[in-house]
Amino acid sequence: SAVISQKPSRDICQRGTSLTIQCQVDSQVTMMFWYRQQPGQSLTLIATANQGSEATYESGFVIDKFPISRPNLTFSTLTVSNMSPEDSSIYLCSVTRGQGPYEQYFGPGTRLTVT
């Protein structure tokens, strides 16, 4: 498994502002992902964070709104830009160690409320 921490654990932000969420893993991992979980909903993949290159975004998500960095094999950030109340969600990072369809391990999540 992997020990994953996220900062902040929760935040309340005003619309139009941006928030950067950090994800730290206790050891090197192959792949890191960012998910969004809207209230009462399941998880939706935002993007795959690629080490040393641009993230790979899923349909419906764009870099201008959700810029992602991954400077090394244990750390990634997700920024939620120009926030609106519709961005109120839990944002989770996850990691996997190997190539292929291995299980993912999830961080505790960041609960974001936009007012």
Partner 1 sequence: AQSVTQLDSHVSVSEGTPVLLRCNYSSSYSPSLFWYVQHPNKGLQLLLKYTSAATLVKGINGFEAEFKKSETSFHLTKPSAHMSDAAEYFCVRTGNTGKLIFGQGTTLQVKP
Interface with partner 1 (CB under 8 A): 1, 4, 33, 41-45, 48, 92, 94, 99-109, 111
Residues forming beta bridges with residue 49, ordered by sequence position: 32
Run of H or E residues at 88: none
Residue 99 or 115 having the CB closest to partner 1: 99
Minimal distance, residue 106 CB to partner 1, in Å: 4
Residue 19 or 31 having the CB closest to partner 1: 31
Residue 43 or 73 having the CB closest to partner 1: 43
Minimal distance, residue 31 CB to partner 1, in Å: 8
Residue 14 or 99 having the CB closest to partner 1: 99
The residue with tokens 């994953």 is: 4
Minimal distance, residue 44 CB to partner 1, in Å: 8
CA-CA-CA-CA torsion sign (15, 66, 71, 91): positive
Name every residue whose Cβ is closer than 8 Å to that of residue 90 and which is 6 or more positions away in sequence: 36, 37, 109, 110, 111, 112
Minimal distance, residue 19 CB to partner 1, in Å: 19
CA atoms within 13 A on the CB side of 113: 5
